[in-house]
């Protein structure tokens, strides 16, 4: 309360806290009173309380996300995707083209990344493109190609879903559903994937704070789906020399705040293929439990994101250097 607050103003706040079913804890100081508000959903009433006279400041003490928090669950969540454990001892590589373009390029890429040690095949069939005139993806045909590549290589498959109405259909073809950066705050989609029964790869919104990202995860978790993997993919900043600013601070931070596995997408995060390898290594050094990397047999001919896609040679070098790094790492951070 403000130091000018009157006793009736203090009592009115205490009464209001009780009315909504929360517990007030008043501590009277030398020149002001502090009212602790205890109860599950206190966060939701924050804004309404700001209208009561005599209040100086409302401070949030506990995190607004519950199911996603380490306080709720201290031990790490391990998410199983087609038999691959994400969040366990191994750093999991997910790799493949930005978009599924045709069966041949997909199979060629899948075979190569599998031979190099990738465990999950990525490939977009529904592409949320900035321009409506850009290649939008092959849709369900693309998902069928991903399924065929899974059958041939044994890789798990992750692909993006962009519309709530498509969730059931996409879920029939893939082992993990990706929610993209542009949809991180599409709450209808988050709830629908929460009911899908599939593991979810939740990209960070390009303009979202870590707290908003964890609240997006909370939407999925609160539908009963506990298999959420968080993916840092870069945020918008004033810097224009790279496509996004890959916020690697968020990796150890989110691992402190949450029990959910965290992976990094250095392809979207940098927008430049030459930066993908060094930033992959940096991400793993920072505690990322997996990477999702765009790989294309001929990046100069890719229908989307060619500039940030690795060719086979660079991907092979990345996998080699990752192995060296992991051997050198005595213990994973966190």
What's the closest the beta carbon of residue 278 comes to Mn ion, in angstroms?
19
Q: Count Cβ atoms below 10 Å from residue 74 Cβ, excluding itself.
A: 8
Q: Residue 294 Cβ, how far from ligand PEP at the closest point, in Å?
A: 7
160, 166, 192, 305: which one binds Mn ion (CB under 5 A): 305
CB of 168 to ligand PEP, least distance (A): 21
Of the pair 25, 102, the CB lying nearest ligand PEP is at 102
Q: Indicate the residue among 124 and 266 with the shorter CB distance to ligand PEP.
A: 124
Binding to ligand PEP, residues 227-256 (CB under 6 A): 233
The maximal CA–CA distance of the chain, rounded, in angstroms, is 76
Beta-carbon-side half-sphere exposure of residue 142 (alpha carbons within 13 Å): 22
Instruction: Choose the stretch contacting ligand PEP; rule: CB under 6 A; options: 141-149, 174-182, 218-226, 276-284.
Output: 174-182
Shortest Å, Cβ 141 to ligand PEP: 18
Residue 160 three-state SS: strand
Which tokens go with 56? 């100086």
Distance, in Å, from the CA atom of 257 to the CA atom of 278, rounded to the nearest integer, reads 26
Nearer to ligand PEP, 124 or 287 (CB): 124
**Residue from the set 87, 124, 142, 290 that interacts with ligand PEP by CB under 6 A:** 124
Distance (Å, whole) CA 280 – CA 291: 7
- Please report, as residue ranges, which positions from 201 to 220 form the binding site for ligand PEP (by CB under 6 A): 203
Residue 233 binds what, of ligand PEP, Mn ion, none (CB under 5 to 8 Å, by partner type)?
Answer: ligand PEP
Alpha-carbon gap, residue 239 to 237, rounded angstroms: 5
* Binding partner of residue 111 among Mn ion, ligand PEP, none, CB cut-off 5 to 8 Å per kind: none
Residue 248 CB, shortest distance to ligand PEP, in Å, is 15
Helix, strand and coil percent figures for the chain, each rounded to 5:
40, 20, 45
Rounded alpha-carbon distances, angstroms, from residue 181 to 60, 161, 213, 226: 27, 11, 10, 20
Give how far the C-alpha of residue 119 lies from the chain's centroid of Cα atoms, to the nearest Å.
19
104/150 Cα distance (integer angstroms): 14
Q: Considering only the stretches 66-74, 92-100, 181-189, 198-206, report the one whose residues sit in contact with Mn ion under the rule CB under 5 A.
A: 92-100
Q: How far is the CB of 85 from ligand PEP (least distance, A)?
A: 22
> CB 182 → ligand PEP: shortest distance, Å?
6
Q: Is the Cβ of residue 218 or residue 265 nearer to ligand PEP in the bound state?
A: 265
Residues 123/97, Cβ–Cβ less than 8 Å: yes
In the bound complex, which residue of the shown chain has the CB atom lying closest to Mn ion? 98
Tell me, by CB under 6 A, how many residues bind ligand PEP. 9
CA torsion through residues 326, 327, 328, 329, sign = positive
The rounded distance, in Å, linking the Cα atoms of 158 and 265 is: 13
Q: Quick one: which of 84, 92, 98, 322 contacts Mn ion (CB under 5 A)? A: 98
Pairing of strands 176-179, 228-232: unpaired
Q: Decide whether 227 or 265 has the Cβ nearer to ligand PEP.
A: 265
Residue closest to ligand PEP when measured from CB atoms: 180
Check residue 268 for interaction with ligand PEP (CB under 6 A). yes
For 40-59, letters b (16+ CB in 10 Å) and e give eebbebeeebeeeebbeeee
User: Of 175-204, which residues contact ligand PEP (CB under 6 A)?
Assistant: 180-182, 203
Q: 245 - beta bridge partners? A: 235
79 class by beta-carbon count within 10 Å (0-12 exposed, 13-18 middle, 19+ buried)? buried
Residues of this chain that interact with ligand PEP (CB under 6 A) are 98, 124, 180-182, 203, 233, 265, 268
Residues of this chain that interact with Mn ion (CB under 5 A) are 98, 305
């Amino acid at each position: 309360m403000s130091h000018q607050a009157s006793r009736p103003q203090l009592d009115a706040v205490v009464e209001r806290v009780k009315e909504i079913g929360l517990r007030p804890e008043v501590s009277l100081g030398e020149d002001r009173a502090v009212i602790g508000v205890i109860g599950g959903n206190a966060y939701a009433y924050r804004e309404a309380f700001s209208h009561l006279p005599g209040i100086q400041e409302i401070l949030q003490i506990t995190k607004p996300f519950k199911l996603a928090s380490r306080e709720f669950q201290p031990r790490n969540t391990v998410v199983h995707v087609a038999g691959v454990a994400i969040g366990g001892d191994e750093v999991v590589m997910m790799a493949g083209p930005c978009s599924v373009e045709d069966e041949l390029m997909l199979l060629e890429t899948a075979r190569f990344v599998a031979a190099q040690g990738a465990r999950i095949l990525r490939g977009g069939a529904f592409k949320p493109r900035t321009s409506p005139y850009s290649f939008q993806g092959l849709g369900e045909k693309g998902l069928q190609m991903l399924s065929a590549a899974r059958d041939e290589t044994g890789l798990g498959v992750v692909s993006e879903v962009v519309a709530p109405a498509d969730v059931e259909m996409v879920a029939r073809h893939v082992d993990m559903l990706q929610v993209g950066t542009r949809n991180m705050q599409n709450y209808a989609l988050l709830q629908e994937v929460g009911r899908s029964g599939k593991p979810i790869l939740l990209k960070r919104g390009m303009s979202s704070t870590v707290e908003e990202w964890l609240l997006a995860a909370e939407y999925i978790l609160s539908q009963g789906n506990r298999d959420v993997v968080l993916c840092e993919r870069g945020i918008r900043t004033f810097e224009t020399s790279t496509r996004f600013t890959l916020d690697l601070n968020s990796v150890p931070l989110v691992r402190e705040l949450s029990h959910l596995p965290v992976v990094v997408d250095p392809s979207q995060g940098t927008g430049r293929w030459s930066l993908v390898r060094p930033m992959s290594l940096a991400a793993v050094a920072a505690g990322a439990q997996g990477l999702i990397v765009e790989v294309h047999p001929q990046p100069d001919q890719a229908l989307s994101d060619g500039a940030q896609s690795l060719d086979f040679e660079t991907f092979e070098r990345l996998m080699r250097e990752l192995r060296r790094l992991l051997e050198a790492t005595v213990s994973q951070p966190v």
